[in-house]
Structure 1
Amino acid sequence: MILITGGAGFIGSHICVDLLNEGYDVAVIDNLSNSRKESLTRVEEITGGTITFYENNLLDRSALEEIFSKHTIEAVIHMAGLKSVNDSVSLPLTYYKNNLTATFVLLEVMAEFNVKTIIFSSSATVYGKPASNPITEDFPVSAINPYGRTKLMIEEVLADLWNADSEWSISILRYFNPIGAHPSGKIGESPNGTPNNLMPYVAKVALGQYEKLTVYGDDYPTVDGTGVRDYIHVTDLALGHVKALSKAMQGSGHEIYNLGTGEGYSVLQLVRAFESASGRSVPYEVTGRREGDVASCYANPSKAEEKLGWKAEKTITDMCEDTWRWRSHNPYGYASGE
């Protein structure tokens, strides 16, 4: 059985689809702080499979030990964590306690039950302000906000764990910017409250739920002055986890992989692509830059292709069309109304 922490969330639910389709038994632990159990019900509808679900917080060690006692866990995909950059700046202690302490508890319980294979959900934020693009895994790391620092600290903890005990098999996946939704339109990104990410906000503007999009800065040295990011379809990203899991279960090791497309798109290019996919207008207003934002950030994903046989296949058009299908069928996400 594979245990996914935070598995009811946007990326986790899509990973569940691929794991079930590959024949794995799947258990999910999620406290539903920024997700809904409905996502897993829909995963079961898509796949015809069954997910064992536990509504618990990773800080609850006894609950975690009970799960490991009840099941033969072969590996853990660790997705759980608070993820808002802005919130992390205003609530650093909350972020450090939740993201770091929960991971320590998880790793201790894994060691206790001799489960030593883990796929960790990291982030391109660990690269800070990269000196150049595309970004390879050996670039210097220096997070510039508490959220990014929690990811970087966990990466360092995992490296120390591997150095201390080479029986561990650790894969660290540095995501770039996941967007899109499952082609069925049944599961997708459904943040509680105001979205922190660009794509769900764009979709809400297209639906008329928000008046306009705020674009933070149009004076960057980019194609149109707006920030450029590497957007990756969530189904491509999910497949990357399955490939990394398969590799990690073959033997011990410690590896880091970028999961991105290798292409950058600006905010306004994404807006135009979404308008084309949806047939809706996305009004926007330009304001000043946000502190900590970088002009451009996109991956060199060649290591994942070489070592895992994985490559992102979906285009920016696919990402926008699938997002619109999800949001137009589920205008309030998994909620009945907001």
Structure 2
Amino acid sequence: MQVLVTGGAGYIGSHTVLSLLENNVDVIVYDNLVNSSIESIDRVEKLTGKKVEFVEGDICDKEKLSRVFKQFSIDAVIHFAALKAVGESAEIPLSYYQNNVHGTVCLLEVMQQHKVHNFIFSSSATVYGEENNVPYVETMKLGTPSSPYGASKVMVERILADLALSDSKFRAVSLRYFNPIGAHESGAIGEDPKGIPNNLLPYVAQVAVGKRDKLRIFGDDYPTKDGSCERDYLHVMDLAQGHVAALDWLNRHPDFSGVEAFNLGTGNGVSVFAIVKAFEQAINKKIPFEVSPRRVGDLPAFWANASKANKELNWQANRSLEQMMTDTWRWQSKNPNGFLI
């Protein structure tokens, strides 16, 4: 089968493309390279020995998207292309709604025009908002997220539900991620944020490799065990394999129509301070840090109930926290400047 992967040159996208290729799926990547690198696709091709069709383009460009659907016989779409930084979304909310919401509508319209009905959406645990209690379960109502980023994911999930009500052929899986970290075990691909990292582990790794002076930890006065935020961290390769499992689930349920949501997480909350300590142990090196004020939009603690994905997708997060740290360091130490050669 042929799958279009939007945002496929990015962190999660590139690892998922690798997993798809390893499962004999033909992949077309569509990416504007705003926060990603074509080098990631070159390396995925080397790792797998398989070719990726690459098109540089924006998901808001319906004409270019339509040409891709005309050129290739696409069976399904996995949609990653989105802006994703919680803090930044509070600073430039219109950019987030333009790209994440309007861009997804453009993509869905083009899919409809070309009669492609299978859709896997890169959603987020932030859709549960502040109202729901942890652990998060898929049966909970969509919440009111504390950031425009989270709000954009809720809006798209509602759009998918409305589209499914209007079109009985539409089949979507919404994968609600928790906190992906780590890198491919080869160290050839990993997370390479442009500018100052918005996520914890790439920042820690850049401090460890000497690219940054010290880590900033946002808040140590949360109502948690050690005062720092707690998150459900999972290995990016486990997450990537969750997308392959979702695609397989759609194939195994040909009569399904509508939208089905699955949490992808470990089911365990780990604090920021615990992550720093685990990384220090993995590389046998201290990480200098300072505590800064809380960031807007950060919740104290959340983690997944992933039993639905375990049971229905035959998926679970298998890789340990130690492996997440080791693989992150392998990537960062082999690529101190990311994909810049």
The TM-score with structure 2 as length reference comes to: 0.96
Aligned AA (1:335): L
Contact 2:157 2:174 in 1 (8 A): yes
8 Å CA contact retained: 1:130, 1:297: no
Alignment of structure 1 residues 108-257 onto 2, 5 Å: 108-140=109-141, 141-249=143-251, 250-251=253-254, 252-253=256-257, 254-257=259-262
Task: Measure, in 2, the Cα distance between the counterparts of 1:48 and 1:77.
Answer: 22
- Cα drift, residue 130 of structure 1: 4.9
For 2:296 and 2:27, how far apart are their aligned partners in 1?
A: 40
The letter of the residue matching 2:173 is S
Amino acid at match of 1:309: N
Name the aligned partner's letter for residue 82 of structure 1.
L
2:167 aligned partner, one-letter code: D
What's the CA shift for 1:131? 4.2
State the alpha-carbon separation in 2 of the partners of residues 224 and 59 from structure 1: 43
**1:324: which partner in 2?**
329
User: How many pairs were matched up?
Assistant: 336
Tell me which stretches of 4 or more aligned residues in structure 1 moved more than 3 Å.
none
Tell me what 1:61 maps to.
62
Q: Distance between the aligned counterparts of 1:218 and 1:100, measured in 2?
A: 33
Report the equivalent of 2:85.
Answer: 84
What's the offset of the Cα at 1:222?
A: 1.6
SS of match in other structure, 1:292:
coil
Distance in 2 (alpha carbons) for counterparts of 1:92 and 1:225: 29
Give the conservation status (yes or no) of the 8 Å contact 1:78–1:121: yes
SS where residue 237 of structure 1 aligns?
helix
Amino acid in the other structure paired with 1:31: N
Identify the range of structure 1 (254-263 vs 286-295) with the bigger mean alpha-carbon deviation. 286-295
Tell me if the contact between 2:86 and 2:297 (Cα under 8 Å) persists in the aligned partners: no
Instruction: Please say which of residues 230-239 and 101-110 is displaced more in the overlay.
Output: 101-110
Letter in 1 for 2:159: V
Alpha-carbon deviation of 1:288? 2.4
Deviations 1:255-294 (A, max 9, x none): 0000000011100100010011112211111122223211
What runs of 5+ residues in structure 1 fail to find an aligned partner? none
**Superposition deviation, residue 142 in structure 1:** 1.5
Among all aligned residue pairs of Structure 1 and Structure 2, give the percentage whose two residues are the same amino acid: 50
Correspondence for 2:340: 335
Is 1:29 the counterpart of 2:30? The answer is yes
Q: CA deviation at 1:221?
A: 2.1
TM-score, with length taken from structure 1: 0.97
Q: CA RMSD in A?
A: 1.0
8 Å contact kept, 1:173–1:259: yes
CA contact (8 A) 2:4 2:29 kept: yes
**In structure 2, what residue type is equivalent to 1:234?**
V
C-alpha deviation, 1:23, in angstroms: 0.5
2:28/2:53 contact within 8 Å kept: yes
* Cα distance between partner residues in 2 of 1:80 and 1:292: 22
Output the CA distance in 1 between the equivalents of 2:149 and 2:210. Answer: 31
1:285 to 287, 290, 296: 290
| Cα distance change, pair 25–105 in 1 and its aligned pair in 2 (3 A) | same
Taking the aligned partners of 2:88 and 2:296, their CA distance within structure 1 comes to: 14
Does the CA-based 8 Å contact 1:6-1:30 persist in structure 2?
A: yes
Contact 2:136 2:302 in 1 (8 A): yes
Q: Which range moves more in the overlay, 57-66 or 115-124?
A: 57-66
The letter of the residue matching 1:52 is E
